[in-house]
A and B are shown apart, each in its own frame.
Chain A
Amino acid sequence: QKEVEQNSGPLSVPEGAIASLNCTYSDRGSQSFFWYRQYSGKSPELIMSIYSNGDKEDGRFTAQLNKASQYVSLLIRDSQPSDSATYLCAVGLNRDDKIIFGKGTRLHILP
């Protein structure tokens, strides 16, 4: 059973600090990795994608991928109250186009 694991949280981070969200996956052949943000009552929104080892930065967001350790992370710098949401890690399987989602980490930014 291919799995994507995330700590459910809630993760509480002071406003202005760095929020660090982590994810591990079981399928070593996975090739594509995504982070989605989901506000309460809303649908998931893609915020970052990463395909190769290392870091990828987009504004205040940095995605980090380590395929050897089967580990993906999302860093949010200068956290804002509007970043409070559930963050879903998703992993694209090797052989087809399905994405496996983790159950998400609830992030709460403390004003």
Chain B
Amino acid sequence: EVQLLESGGDLVQPGGSLRLSCAASGFTFSTYVMHWVRQAPRKGLEWVSAISGSGGRTYYADSVKGRFTISRDNSKSTLYLQMNSLRAEDTAVYHCVKDVGTNVYYMDVWGKGTTVTVSS
């Protein structure tokens, strides 16, 4: 069974940093593009970032570019999101999501998410 388990969410002050992790299992992790998608309280889905299977190509939403860094460790089947200079508007549930293919296309497996709250 394909599973994605996020961790690392926490309460952090504005300007602070946080690193999210996503442990993947049940599929050949290194093959697929992986995404982070967030959902602020009572809001819609917002795509955050994606990374190719090898890690050589990364993509970011304008709202996080320069502040967030996506990476992966294929030897550990783990996806990461380093979040710096956090703002109140980054408060959301962050989902780790598997793409169906080796290029950015659509998403077929979603993790339950980890909650990030940015507040003083």
B and A form one assembly? no
